[in-house]
Amino acid sequence: MKVHDAWVEVNVKALRYNLLQVKTLLGPNVKVMAVVKGNGFGHGYAVPARAFVGAGAEYLGVTRLEEAAHIRSADIQVRTLLFAPIQPESADEALAMNLDLTVDSIRLAEVISNVASRRGLQARVHIKIDTGMSRLGMPPEEFEAAFAAMSRMPSITVAGVYTHFAEAGGADPAITRKQNERFHTVVQKLRLHEQYPPIMHAANSAAYLRFPETRYNMVRIGTLLYGQYPGGEVPRKLTLEDTWRLKARICTVKKLPAGSRVGYGGEFVTKRPTRMAIVPIGYADGFTMAAEGPIYRQSPLKFLAKRQKRQLTVDLHGRPVPVIGRVSMQMTALDVTDCLEVSVGDVVTLPAMRLATNPDLPRVYIDNE
């Protein structure tokens, strides 16, 4: 059995459980897109994706082709939407992977249709509407003509229409409601013309919980699946399980006399005879980056200001242990003087931002079922 010096422990059972929790608030005709972009929010791609599909997710969502490649190379063939509009030169690759593609212009749809026609394929696209996020998408007033034009393209199937909310977890609900009104107008136009794409989606994790009217017939869920709530204004309607832990093993334990300078710059000086432990993990691995949950609940600047006043600690044998000295690239020193038993190989659990955690760290998947 391989012993890791530092790793991320992922609870696969908790991933499945959280998706099932999400489904408890949905009607039978509302699909779930499990978002696995950004290395599965730090959990990896293939195993979480397979867990979500096994628990009932009908779609997966990623941003870039490289992310989709991880899904397809694991032989996961469920519908997968690419959020970023592709470069025209990448249309062949995207179609070869049988991806649903985001389009925000007639020009891109034409490129995709031409490539699909040449390959003898039917491309599936989702039209993105900009209702106020101001990143991707066409204005709502341009949608009707664009939809009609794309519907006439011989190798295009308009599989979905969607938008994205900018402040669904923020203090002012009126912003999201206004965005949804704009999107609902688009949906109503489709209904009047009997042009009705099978999938309409708007709700992210925050909107899914806070604005039930935005669920339409599919929701895009990311952070909730990984055991975290987005935003302080979001109601806690689900019982979520923790899915992720950053861990490392102590590699050295040594005694230091009082007055010893610890780490780069000698910023920490021991005030007493100290027993110090070292774990081979540091800022290159994401340690010292804040966990996402606390940031969601307040502004990053306020969070960091409070954090600077607190002693940074890790968990050892179920108790907090202070970090001493400057955290370096891949080494961190701990004061274990007050711990009764500490040995090389003991496991430490560290707080960190999941998305910033080194993707090269092994992901160890724990599944009790």
Structure tokens at 279: 């774990």
DSSP result, 268-304? EE-SS-EEEEEES--GGGTBTSPPHHHHHTS-HHHHH
SS3 260: coil
Taking only Cα atoms into account, the Rg of the chain, rounded to an integer number of angstroms, comes to: 24
Asked about 264 being catalytic, the answer comes back as yes
DSSP result, 220-251? EE-GGGGT---STTS---S-----EEEEEE--
Residues 196, 264, 302, 306: which is the catalytic one?
Answer: 264
Asked about 45 being catalytic, the answer comes back as no
CA nearest to 361, candidates 49, 45, 4, 74: 4
Q: How many CB atoms within 10 Å of residue 55? A: 19
Strands 199-201 vs 156-162: parallel, antiparallel or unpaired: parallel
Which residues, in sequence order, are CB contacts of 20 under 8 Å at separation 6+?
55, 56
Residues 17, 31, 37, 296: which is the catalytic one?
Answer: 37
CA nearest to 91, candidates 107, 115, 126: 115
User: How many residues can be counted in the chain?
Assistant: 369
Which residues, in sequence order, are CB contacts of 139 under 8 Å at separation 6+?
129, 130
CA distances from residue 42 to 10, 45, 47, 297, 303 in whole angstroms, order as listed: 9, 9, 12, 20, 21
Instruction: Give strand pairing partners of 79.
Output: 59
Catalytic residues: 37, 264
